[in-house]
Amino acid sequence: MTTSVPAISITGAAYSYGEAPVLEGVDLEVAQGEFLGLVGPNAGGKSTLLKLILGLFEPQAGRVLVLGRPPDQARRLLGYVPQYPAFPRDFPITVEQVVLMGRLGSGQGWRRWLGGWSQTDHVAARAALQEVRAEDLAGRRIGTLSGGQLQRVLVARALVGQPRLLILDEPTANIDQRMEGEIFDLLRVLNKRMTILVVSHDVAFISAYVTRVACLNRTLVCHRTETIDGGIIHELYGEDVRRVAHEHTL
Site residues, another protein (CB under 8 A): 54, 56, 75-76, 78, 80, 82, 85-88, 91-94, 97-98, 101-102, 104-105, 113-117, 141, 157, 161
Min separation Cβ 101 and another protein, Å: 6
How far CA 138 is from CA of 85, 98, 182, in Å, comes to 18, 9, 20
Cβ 7 vs Cβ 195: under 8 Å: yes
Please state the φ and ψ torsions of residue 99, each to the nearest 5 degrees.
-65, -40
Instruction: Write the DSSP assignment of 59-83 as a string of letters.
Output: -SEEEEEETTB-HHHHGGGEEEE-S
Query: Chain-centre distance of CA 202, in angstroms?
Result: 15
Min separation Cβ 218 and another protein, Å: 24
Residue (of 212, 231, 234) closest to 223 by Cα position: 212
For another protein, the closer of residues 76 and 193 by Cβ is: 76
Min separation Cβ 31 and another protein, Å: 23
Min separation Cβ 100 and another protein, Å: 8
For another protein, the closer of residues 128 and 233 by Cβ is: 128
For another protein, the closer of residues 39 and 160 by Cβ is: 160
For another protein, the closer of residues 20 and 86 by Cβ is: 86
